[in-house]
Amino acid sequence: MKESSKSNKYRDAYFFDTYLSGKVIDIGGGSDPVTENVEVFDLDQGDAQNISLYKDKETYDCVYSSHCLEHMKDAPKALSQWWDLVKPGGYMIIIVPHEDLYEQMIWPSVNSTGDYCHQFTFRLGGDTSWSPVSIDIKNLISSLKNSLIVSSEIQDENYDYDLLGKKLSPVGRKIYKWRRSESNTKRWISEMVYDFFHDTFWINSKRKTGRPIDQTTWNALAQIQVVAKKL
């Protein structure tokens, strides 16, 4: 889904110059690194759950990870090791799915299945959650030694709250997914009928079966971003 590329559209020069300069590692960057000059650490490079086996402590000016922490078997332990990689004065940027916007109050996550499925959900603040595996990501990062939270925010650009929790018929899901198709014909059809179906049927749908709409398959963000500095 190339979440880093999508997120970069809403980041200014200050963000890149301040937080993503110097020696940067992108944990889970895969084929979509946050910038061209970062060092990518993904499955081909090793196990991010135990990154201390591969990388030395305090060797990076920035540790960046987008949509990777939720796949770790032990998220707090993994995050602690990622934090160890940051130099004093450096930064860690963590982006995770927002449990309400992405999982939409369903667990296990229907939008993440298979061997690399989500192990945790994440919220920003709040003492309770509908999810049995919920983590307050800001609180978790705040608990790291010598950490100072620079910023924390929910990023929901292009997210349609009218579709939150809605389930579409197979035809409706096909129309929705065609918006991202490589076929010009499918994209044209989707653009022609999308608004009609959205306004007439989808936001009024009371379907109880099927899967919720994963808006991140299009151009929406449904995530939390936390930036921390190591003192």
Q: Give me the domains of the chain, ranges plus CATH numbers.
A: 3-159+216-230 (3.40.50.150), 166-204 (no CATH)
Question: What span, in angstroms and rounded, lies between the C-alpha atoms of 65 and 34?
Answer: 9
Q: Which pTM was predicted? A: 0.95
The pLDDT score that the predictor gives to residue 34 is: 98
Q: Which amino acid is at 57?
A: K
Give the helix/strand (H/E) hosting 27. Answer: strand 24-27
Residue located via tokens 């990023």: 155
Confidence category of residue 170, pLDDT binned at 50, 70, 90: confident
SS3 103: helix
Instruction: Tell me which residue of 116, 47, 112 sits closest to 82, measured CA to CA.
Output: 47
- Does the pLDDT of residue 1 top 70, yes or no? no
- Does the pLDDT of residue 110 top 90, yes or no? no
Cβ atoms of 201 and 213 closer than 8 Å: no
The pLDDT score that the predictor gives to residue 150 is: 98
For all residues of the chain together, what is the average pLDDT? 95
Question: What span, in angstroms and rounded, lies between the C-alpha atoms of 140 and 132?
Answer: 16
